[in-house]
């Protein structure tokens, strides 16, 4: 299978080619189509299996043709750590800049001053955030998520084992009722199963088994 078979738009295909991504990994093969169709997707695959692009590519494909009116957050990506926030936002920016209407992406995390993050927030389309800082920004009314269309939980297992559930629940409560939810995790722990049931009704579950 090729990325072209997955019906990604030509701007994304040429950026994949330019960056020498020759063919999709198994999780990308299975996750991209249902995400493009607007379904909720839960993807379980081990570390290093390409989960980032499994959601970044279809997310950008879906958002590119519906530019925001006054730049409210279109997609919210929640991640457990600052390192991952930076890494994921860099992947989004690499592919977003190839679009005709690039989407503005920002990473926010704790341990640094909140003021510069607050000032830039009203120009952001895609926000990548750790739960604690996200909640802080919300409590200051700096983040507009009433029109968010896609929620991603990346490294959901790690986010839950780090004890972020309470912050996550407070964020979920402020999101629109109807939105596309994507969850990616290296493991399907009981906490991950529980949050899947809590967040989605009938998700497409993709569990990539490691061959023996
Ligand atoms: P995971 O989130 O599952 O741990 P990542 O998304 O971080 O994995 O990807 C791991 C590495 O594989 C990254 O360096 C990424 O650029 C690379 N990668 C992702 N997709 C592909 C692909 N289709 N072909 C080649 N390399 C890829
Ligand atoms: Mg990852």
Atom 15 of ligand 1, nearest CA residue: 50
Torsion from C-alpha of 124, 48, 54, 186, nearest 10 degrees = -90
Once rounded to an integer, what is the mean pLDDT over residues 71-86? 95
Q: Which residues pair with 129 in a beta bridge?
A: 78, 108
| CA atoms of 66 and 3, how far apart (whole Å) | 22
The long-range contacts involving 168-171, CB below 8 angstroms and separated by at least 24 positions, are: 168/78, 168/131, 168/195, 170/135, 170/138, 171/76, 171/78, 171/131, 171/134, 171/135, 171/138
pLDDT of residue 64: 92
Work out the average pLDDT over 43-57: 97
Q: Which of 140, 191, 141 is nearest to 166 (CA)?
A: 191
Binding pocket residue ranges, ligand 1, CB within 6 Å: 21, 24-25, 28, 45, 47-53
Mutate to test the pocket of ligand 1, among 8, 22, 52 (most ligand atoms within 8 A of CB): 52
pLDDT in tens, 86-133: 999 999 999 999 999 899 999 999 999 999 999 888 889 999 999 999
> Rounded to the nearest whole angstrom, what is the distance from the C-alpha of residue 45 to the centroid of ligand 1?
11
Q: What interface predicted TM-score (ipTM) does this complex get?
A: 0.99
pLDDT at 171 over 60: yes
Rounded distance between C-alpha atoms, residue 105 and residue 64, angstroms: 13
Contact between 151 and 74 (Cβ < 8 Å): no
211 versus 134: the higher-pLDDT residue is: 134
Domain ranges of the chain: 4-207
43 Cβ partners below 8 Å, 6+ apart? 27, 30, 31, 51, 54, 55, 182, 183, 184, 185, 206, 208
- The rounded Å distance from CA 50 to ligand 1 centre is 3
- The answer, yes or no, to whether residue 166 has pLDDT greater than 90, is yes
| 48 CA distance to ligand 2 middle (Å) | 7
Please write the tens of the pLDDT for every residue from 133-163.
999 999 999 998 989 999 999 999 999 999 9
Task: Please tell me the pTM assigned to this model.
Answer: 0.97
Q: Which residues contact 211 (CB under 8 A, 6 or more apart)?
A: none
Q: What is the spatial distance between Cα 162 and Cα 127, in angstroms, rounded to a whole number?
A: 21
CATH (one of 2.60.120.260, 3.40.50.300, 3.40.50.10490, 3.20.20.70) for 4-207 = 3.40.50.300
How many Å apart are CA 28 and CA 17, to the nearest integer?
A: 15
pLDDT attached to residue 207: 96
Start-to-end CA distance of the chain, whole Å, equals 23
**pLDDT > 70? residue 68:** no
């Amino acid at each position: 299978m090729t990325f072209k078979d997955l019906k990604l738009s030509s701007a994304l295909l040429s950026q994949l080619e330019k960056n020498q991504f020759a063919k999709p990994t198994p999780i990308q093969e299975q996750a991209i189509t249902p995400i493009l169709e607007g379904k909720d997707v839960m993807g379980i695959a081990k570390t290093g299996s390409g989960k980032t692009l499994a959601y970044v590519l279809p997310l950008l494909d879906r958002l590119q043709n519906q530019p925001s009116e006054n730049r409210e957050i279109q997609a919210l990506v929640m991640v457990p750590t600052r390192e991952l926030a930076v890494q994921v936002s860099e992947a989004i920016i690499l592919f977003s800049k190839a679009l005709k209407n690039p989407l503005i992406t920002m990473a926010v995390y704790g341990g640094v001053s909140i003021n510069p993050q607050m000032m830039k927030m009203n120009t952001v389309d895609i926000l990548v955030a750790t739960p604690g800082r996200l909640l802080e920004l919300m409590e200051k009314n700096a983040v507009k998520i009433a029109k968010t269309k896609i929620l991603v939980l990346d490294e959901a297992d790690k986010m839950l084992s780090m004890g972020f559930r309470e912050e996550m629940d407070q964020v979920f409560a402020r999101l629109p009722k109807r939105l596309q939810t994507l969850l990616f995790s290296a493991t399907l722990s009981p906490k991950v199963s529980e949050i899947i049931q809590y967040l989605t009704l009938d998700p497409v579950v993709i569990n990539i088994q490691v061959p023996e």
